[in-house]
Amino acid sequence: MAFLEMLGYGFIQRALLAGTLIGLLCSVLGVFLVLRRFSLIGDGLAHFTFGSVALALLLRVSPEHVTLAALPFVLIAAVAILRLTETKRIAGDAAIGIISALGIAGGVILASLAGGFNVDLFSYLFGNILSIDSGDVLLSLFLCGVVLLTVLLFYRDIFAVTFDEDLAKVTGVNARAVNLVLVLLTALTVVLAMKLVGIMLISALLILPSVAALQVARSFFSALLLSAGIGTLAVVGGIFSSITLNLPTGATIIVACFLAFVVTAFLRKLRS
């Protein structure tokens, strides 16, 4: 299928637009999460999303409303992870593991009650480019605007909390509010990204572009810009490559992100 011919299909147009926005979101948020050593929160929330989707399918929620039905549960899970880490008795990775295990276990039980793993559930696990509709595009556009506006307005506060939370508190930054906003935005992005790359691969889309950017970036702001560029290019390239080569879209996007990481790691080695 020729490049221009691909662009003539509505589902490809929607996938490209929503995918570009989602890739941008994951890449920008991923920089903060990686530097905070909180990158696995995407994996934990993705696993909890699996349980939320299984519940929605058990309740016979229509496919176009599954995303909205799962969203409140994932937001609650994000707040729960943050609250567990604030107790000082539970490390961040342990809190993520607790929520992740609960989501997977609940999802398996609910899927069993629903009669097993059906086609709908598998499409959420591994992504389905055909399932992206105009509602997802509008939601992606809205969330992208919210995230970018939040980063611009509170750049200094987010920067301070990311690198030294204790120092940020001393200087008057409301670190708790910054952390809450960050995890809620991550939860929204995770739910939104499950149709593009699937629940199983969301964490990779959060981590790989940002890690690749941090290999060669010389400043925090340049890392944000480079990560955003890598994420969006990987999504666009992955969509076209998957259609051309008849490969799974989500997995192809992640492979593109990994190749970008390999390239930047090589460039860092040459520079050093």
List per-block mean pLDDT (blocks of 10 residues) for the chain, which spans 272 residues.
68 84 88 84 84 83 77 88 75 77 85 67 72 79 84 85 82 86 87 79 88 91 92 90 86 92 92 76
Other beta carbons within 10 angstroms of residue 251's beta carbon come to 18
Task: Give the structural domain span for 193.
Answer: 3-271
- Look up the pTM and report it: 0.85
Q: What is the pLDDT of residue 262?
A: 95
Q: What is the pLDDT of residue 255?
A: 92
Q: What is the pLDDT of residue 49?
A: 86
The two most distant CA atoms of the chain are separated, in Å, by 58
Q: What is the pLDDT of residue 214?
A: 92
Nearest Cα residue to 208 out of 38, 37, 34, 44: 34
Q: How many domains does the chain have?
A: 1
Q: What is the pLDDT of residue 119?
A: 55
Tell me the CATH number at 106.
1.10.3470.10
